[in-house]
């Protein structure tokens, strides 16, 4: 720990001890708070993030049992288990010091002390607290990352003019810390673009944390994003780091930000403007350092016009806007993507000799792909499963077979996007036997998005 880093709290009813320690530590730590009243410990802990507490063992007049110190030690550790506590005890009370260590104290100081021994002890304790907090943050980051690592690919795949232009934009945007809004239909690969921005940024050595804004209930919104302290609400069994704090130093990806409830948007805006958060149940402000990337599959401008999205929030999140065109507008990418998915699934299903003939690729290029890249991926996986022999045939794609047989009895309806979307939703719900969670996943939607579409079509 270099320079004046670390925050210290000294709690002792002897003013001389407090003064002596404060004079010693002021030169070496960024903050040294003191109190002669242990009843103020909770208030002090709620307003500051200390690295070390130096705690006297006796506060009641005439009491030398050390029970006071054990009581306050346990209270401190219950609030912040990662905080290093060093007890202060008189010479000849080593048994009490040992008892304190068993109760959770890191070490003890015997009065009178030697400054040349006390200072390294407190510095080491502060280092330990900082290391524990860093490890706890990394553990939280890893848990959040593990929720999102089951992705089939993490690179942008395509050679169309549109993709080449998008990659050129990314080269300019990624190295900056500018907030980015990625727009595009469901299934176009918005998260893949977000990860590419992070991977080519100056923050690439830290994590990118993904939040599906449509999956967070209003009651847990603040807890998920900002974290909470133990006891903040009924199920808060322990302190929890929120997504903002977990992403600090790296990037935060807010997927489908259009799903953020209007009444909660001011809280999100405040956190983004002030770059500080307060975990639920705590008055302690936590500074955050994030690069913000958002995504939306609907027009946020339209939502602003209907009163469902704040204009000032849009200004905050879209310093740069990147639009990913639907797959049907870049058919040249379809064969490349199809081959990419084929290589994945023929390995997964142990059909290493399977090939995709040119005539099938050309048919895939003519299909509309309303579900975009995600729909193509699912179609290739199913075709690999259903295929016989070494070639993927048109018959392995139901929609191509139907098209070749002229199964388009009402051509006007065929090009009606709303009717197609409605029927797709019906088919997917039926396929999953009414399980809306699985249906939403199959459609590439959040449950909230699926509910809104069902309401729109009266399903």
Q: Which of residues 105 and 148 earns the better pLDDT score? A: 105
Q: What is the mean pLDDT of residues 92-104?
A: 79
pLDDT band at 440 (very low <50, low <70, confident <90, very high): confident
Residue-level pLDDT at 310: 95
pLDDT at 403 over 70: no
For residues 91-99, average pLDDT? 73
Question: What pLDDT, on the 0 to 100 scale, is given for residue 143?
Answer: 63
Three-state SS annotation for the chain: CCCCCCEEEEECCCHHHHHHHHHHHCCCCCEEEEECCHHHHHHHHHHCCCCEEEEECCCCCCCCCCHHHHHHHHHHHHHCCCCEEEEEEECCCHHHHHHHHHCCCCEEEEECCCHHHHHHHHHHHHHHHHHHHHHHHHHHHHHHHHCCCCCCCCCCCCCCHHHHHHHHHHHHHCCCCCCEEEECCCCCCHHHHHHHHHHCCCCCCCCEEEEECCCCCHHHHHHHHHCECCCCCCCCCCCECCHHHHHCCCEEEEECHHHCCHHHHHHHHHHHHHCEECCECCCCCEECCCEEEEEECCCHHHHHHCCCCCHHHHHHHCCEEEECCCHHHCCCHHHHHHHHHHHHHHHHCCCCCCECCHHHHHHHHHCCCCCHHHHHHHHHHHHHHHCCCCECCHHHCHHHHHHHCCCCCCHHHHCCHHHHHHHHHHHHHHHCCCCHHHHHHHHCCCHHHHHHHHHHCCC
Looking at CATH, the fold of the domain delimited by 161-325 is given as Rossmann fold (3.40.50)
Note the maximum CA span of the chain.
Answer: 98
- What confidence tens digit (pLDDT) does each residue in 4-50 have? 778 999 999 889 999 999 999 998 998 999 999 999 998 898 888 89
Portion of the chain with pLDDT greater than 90, in percent: 46
Pick the CATH number of 410-459 from 3.40.50.150, 1.10.10.60, 1.20.1260.10, 3.40.50.740: 1.10.10.60
> What number is the average pLDDT over the span 102-125?
88
pLDDT in tens, 421-439: 777 887 887 776 666 777 8
Distance, in Å, from the CA atom of 356 to the CA atom of 333, rounded to the nearest integer, reads 15
Domain ranges of the chain: 7-135, 161-325, 331-407, 410-459
d(CA 341, CA 157): 11
The residue among 295, 53, 332 whose CA lies nearest residue 197 is 295
The CATH T-level fold of domain 7-135 is Rossmann fold (3.40.50)
Paired with 9 in beta bridges are: 33, 53
Write out pLDDT tens, residues 146-188: 554 444 334 789 989 999 999 999 999 999 999 999 999 988 9
Q: How confident is the model at residue 412 (pLDDT cuts 50, 70, 90)?
A: very low
Dihedral angle of Cα 190, 195, 197, 199, to the nearest 10 degrees: -160
Asked if 7-135 and 161-325 have one fold, the answer is yes
Whether 402 shows a pLDDT value over 70: the answer reads no
Mean pLDDT value of segment 211-225: 88
For residue 410, pLDDT beyond 60: no
Query: Scanning the structure block, which residue is given the tokens 């009641």?
Result: 60
Range scoring the smallest mean pLDDT among 169-173, 225-229, 243-247, 430-434:
430-434
Position 91 scores a pLDDT of: 63
Query: With left for phi above 0 and alpha for psi between -120 and 50, is residue 372 left, alpha or beta?
Result: left
Provide long-range contacts, Cβ within 8 A and 24+ apart, for 216-225. 218/261, 218/263, 218/264, 221/261, 221/264, 221/267, 222/267, 222/280, 223/280, 225/268, 225/271, 225/277
Read off the pLDDT of residues 317-351 as tens digits, 9 standing for 90 and up: 999 999 999 999 999 999 999 999 999 999 999 99
| pLDDT surpasses 90 at 141 | no
Tokens of 96: 């009490």
Least Cα distance to 144 among 271, 247, 236 occurs for: 247
- The band of 109, judged by pLDDT with boundaries at 50, 70 and 90, is confident
Give the per-residue pLDDT at 36. 92
Specify whether domain 331-407 bears CATH 1.10.8.60.
yes
Kindly report the pTM of this predicted structure. 0.61
pLDDT of amino acid 132: 81
**Where residue 361 falls among pLDDT bands split at 50, 70, 90?**
very high
């Amino acid at each position: 720990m270099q320079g004046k880093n670390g925050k210290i709290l000294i709690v002792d009813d002897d003013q001389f001890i407090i003064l002596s320690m404060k004079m010693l530590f002021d030169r070496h730590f960024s903050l040294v708070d003191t109190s002669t009243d242990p009843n103020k410990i909770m208030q002090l802990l709620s307003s500051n993030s200390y690295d070390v507490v130096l705690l006297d063992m006796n506060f009641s007049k005439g009491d030398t049992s050390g029970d006071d110190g054990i009581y306050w030690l346990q209270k401190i550790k219950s609030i912040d288990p990662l905080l290093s506590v060093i007890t202060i005890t008189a010479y000849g009370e080593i048994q009490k010091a040992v008892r304190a260590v068993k109760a959770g104290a890191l070490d003890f100081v015997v009065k009178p002390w030697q400054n040349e021994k006390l200072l390294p002890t407190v510095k080491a304790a502060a280092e330990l607290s900082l290391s524990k907090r860093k490890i706890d943050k990394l553990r939280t980051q890893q848990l959040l990352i593990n929720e999102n690592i089951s992705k089939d690919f993490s690179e942008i795949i395509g050679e169309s003019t549109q993709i080449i232009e998008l990659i050129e934009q990314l080269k300019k945007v990624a190295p900056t810390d500018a907030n980015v809004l990625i727009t595009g239909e469901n299934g176009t690969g918005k998260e893949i673009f977000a990860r590419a921005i992070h991977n080519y940024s100056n923050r690439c050595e830290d994590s990118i944390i993904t939040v599906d804004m449509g999956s967070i209930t209003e009651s847990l919104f603040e807890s998920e994003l900002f974290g909470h302290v133990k006891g903040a609400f009924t199920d808060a069994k322990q302190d929890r780091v929120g997504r903002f704090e977990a992403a600090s130093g790296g990037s935060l990806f807010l997927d489908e930000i259009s799903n953020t409830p209007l009444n909660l948007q001011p809280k999100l805006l405040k956190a983004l403007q002030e770059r500080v958060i307060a975990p639920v149940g705590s008055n302690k402000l936590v500074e955050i350092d994030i690069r913000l990337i958002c995504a939306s599959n609907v027009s946020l401008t339209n939502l602003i016009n209907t009163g469902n999205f704040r204009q000032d929030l849009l200004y905050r999140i879209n310093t740069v806007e990147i639009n990913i065109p639907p797959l049907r507008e870049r058919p040249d990418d379809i064969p490349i993507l199809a081959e990419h998915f084929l290589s994945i699934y023929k390995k997964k299903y142990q059909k290493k000799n399977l090939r995709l003939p040119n005539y099938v690729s050309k048919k895939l290029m003519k299909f509309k792909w309303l579900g975009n890249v995600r729909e193509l991926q699912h179609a290739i996986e199913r075709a690999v499963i259903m295929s016989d022999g070494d070639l993927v045939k048109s018959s392995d794609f139901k929609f191509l077979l139907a098209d070749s047989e002229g199964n388009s009895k009402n051509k006007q309806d065929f090009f009606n996007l709303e009717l197609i979307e409605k029927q797709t939703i019906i088919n997917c719900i039926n396929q999953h036997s009414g399980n809306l969670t699985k249906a939403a996943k199959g459609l590439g939607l959040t449950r909230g998005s699926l509910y809104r579409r069902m309401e729109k079509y009266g399903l």
